[in-house]
């Protein structure tokens, strides 16, 4: 009898369970697809949702989502669909000034990484570095975000503040508080150093960069410089046509600038078409922030003109993108080809090795100290460690280098504050932090080991 009741209970449970399943998932219907139309499944899915979804749906949202999904499925960090706002932001970055922190970023395996901060930008001033991984923007995780989605969060009005949490290889997580500013349109900076040596820094390749470079060269010619250092460090790239036209100024006519290989393996060779060539000894500075168009120019000058490269291995971006706009002002940016150096090498994800490898001083890579934080006696963290190393680099040799803010550290901080005519309280915060960072930046400029080596190499060829 007990056995029969058990069987009945099991049967009843099975029937109830079956009924619940039937109520949640109705009987499947097979939809016929048109084998001759590759978009048949997409159209059918749209039609099904439009007619049967339990909530009212927005047609534009579905279409935008489908396009984004299509582009995202390429699994290419440089191909992206941009809605109207995102496209506006992208176009500003290429052609004019904009307000933000001034850092070129890209998506890589679901992470947003810094390619390079722009010269003179808030991102450079606080110490963002190439290959830093951005984890959070104002406490919001951006894991899985596209580049354009991340940019929309990071950008903002001049004077407003954004907080970033980044992960730096070999260091760990770091917090950055950055005040947004206007990022200027100027991309070429020139000066005379070492009496008769010209230096030109190119910070990116925008629509006006070629013209700026020509003007800078003309100014240096008037000053009768006898050698030239071209600084491509921290240059995230930009427009291909600018890289080609600018390389043209330094190569003999007919020399190869680069090769572009399409999806069929067909190669188009771009050769120098300029009859005139700058007749000066030249060296080029590169580093891990030199990317894309910056790498094109560096490789062209090195391989086709024998110009030495000084510094560190470049970023490694060897693909070409183009952007197409729709009449609603949205756009799609997509990869069209590989680019190869004059000797046929593809430097993608490998970078270009310098002719002469030179690292910057250790203090050039110290983690950022947030001026809003208060470092005081008893604290132990990476910011204390960074501050101690900065003070040591500035000549305060008595300070311990252990990441612990002890009595000795406090005394050294008080001495630094006295020397800088700051309020003396033995704590590192606000103006003390800002002054400490400024002094380190000034010291690095005075002791730019890469630039010094480039000048040395240049003089050997003069």
- Percentage of the chain beyond pLDDT 70 is 92
What average pLDDT score do residues 129-138 get? 93
Comparing 24 with 375, which gets the higher pLDDT?
375
Grade residue 24 by pLDDT with cuts at 50, 70 and 90: low
What residue ranges define each of the domains in the chain, with the CATH number in brackets?
97-183 (2.30.42.10), 188-361 (3.90.226.10), 363-446 (1.10.101.10)
pLDDT of residue 213: 96
**What pLDDT, in 10s, does the model give residues 323-351?**
899 988 889 989 999 999 999 999 999 99
**What pLDDT, in 10s, does the model give residues 410-435?**
999 999 999 999 999 999 999 999 99
**pTM, two decimal places:** 0.80
What average pLDDT score do residues 204-231 get? 94
| Mean pLDDT score across all residues of the chain | 89
**SS3 for the chain, per residue?**
CHHHHHHHHHHHHHHHHHHHHHHHCCCCCCCCCCCCCCCHHHHHHHHHHHHHCCCCCCHHHHHHHHHHHHHHCCCCCCCEEECHHHHHHHHHHHHCCEEECCEEEEEECCEEEEEEECCCCHHHHHCCCCCCEEEEECCEECCCCCHHHHHHHHCCCCCCEEEEEEEECCCEEEEEEEECEEECCCCEEEEEECCCEEEEEECCECCCHHHHHHHHHHHHHHCCCCEEEEECCCCCCECHHHHHHHHCCCCCCCCEEEEEECCCCCEEEEECCCCCCCCCCEEEEECCCCCCHHHHHHHHHHHHHCCCEEECCCCCCCEEEEEEECCCCCEEEEEEEEEECCCCCCCCCCCCCCCEECCCCHHHHCCCCCCCCCECCCCECHHHHHHHHHHHHCCCCCCCCCCECCHHHHHHHHHHHHHCCCCCCCCECHHHHHHHHHHHHHHHHHCCHHHHHHHHHHHHCC
pLDDT at 205 over 90: yes
């Amino acid at each position: 009898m007990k056995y029969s009741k058990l069987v009945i209970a099991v049967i009843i449970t099975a029937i109830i369970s079956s009924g619940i399943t039937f109520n949640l998932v109705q009987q499947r219907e097979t939809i016929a697809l048109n084998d001759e139309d590759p978009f048949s499944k997409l159209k059918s899915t749209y039609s099904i949702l439009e007619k049967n979804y339990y909530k009212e749906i927005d047609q534009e949202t579905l279409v935008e989502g489908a396009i984004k999904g299509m582009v995202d499925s390429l699994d290419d960090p440089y191909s992206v669909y941009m809605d109207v706002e995102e496209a506006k932001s992208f176009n500003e970055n290429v052609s004019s000034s904009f307000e933000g922190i001034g850092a070129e970023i890209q998506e890589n395996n679901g992470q947003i990484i810094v390619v390079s901060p722009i010269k003179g930008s808030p991102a450079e001033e606080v110490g963002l570095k190439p290959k830093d991984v951005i984890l959070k923007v104002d406490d919001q995780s951006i894991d899985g975000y596209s580049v354009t989605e991340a940019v929309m969060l990071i950008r903002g009005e001049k004077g407003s503040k954004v907080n970033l949490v980044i992960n730096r290889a070999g260091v760990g997580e770091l917090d950055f508080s950055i005040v947004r500013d206007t990022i200027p349109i100027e991309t070429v900076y020139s000066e005379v150093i070492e009496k008769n040596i010209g230096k030109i820094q190119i910070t990116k390749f925008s629509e006006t960069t070629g013209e700026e470079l020509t003007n800078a060269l003309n100014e240096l010619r008037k000053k009768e410089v006898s050698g030239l250092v071209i600084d491509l460090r921290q240059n995230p790239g930009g427009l291909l046509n600018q890289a080609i036209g600018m390389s043209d100024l330094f190569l003999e006519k007919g020399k190869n600038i680069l090769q572009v290989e399409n999806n069929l393996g067909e190669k188009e060779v771009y050769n120098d078409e300029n009859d005139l060539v700058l007749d000066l000894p030249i060296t080029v500075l590169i580093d891990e922030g030199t990317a894309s168009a910056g790498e094109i120019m560096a490789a062209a000058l090195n391989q086709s003109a024998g110009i030495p490269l000084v510094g560190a291995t470049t970023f490694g971006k060897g693909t070409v993108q183009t952007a197409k706009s729709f009449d609603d002002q949205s756009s799609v940016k997509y990869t069209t080809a590989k680019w190869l150096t004059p000797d046929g090498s593809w430097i993608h994800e490998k970078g270009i090795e310098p002719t002469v490898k030179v690292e910057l001083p250790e203090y050039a890579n110290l983690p950022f100290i947030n001026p809003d934080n208060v470092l005081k006696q008893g604290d132990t963290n990476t910011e204390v460690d960074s501050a101690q190393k900065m003070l040591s680099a500035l000549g305060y040799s008595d300070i311990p280098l252990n990441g612990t803010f002890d009595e000795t550290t406090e005394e050294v901080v008080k001495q630094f504050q006295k020397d800088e005519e700051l309020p003396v309280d033995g704590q590192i915060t606000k103006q003390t932090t800002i002054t400490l960072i400024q002094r380190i930046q000034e010291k690095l400029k005075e002791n730019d080991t890469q630039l010094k080596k480039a000048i040395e190499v240049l003089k050997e060829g003069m």
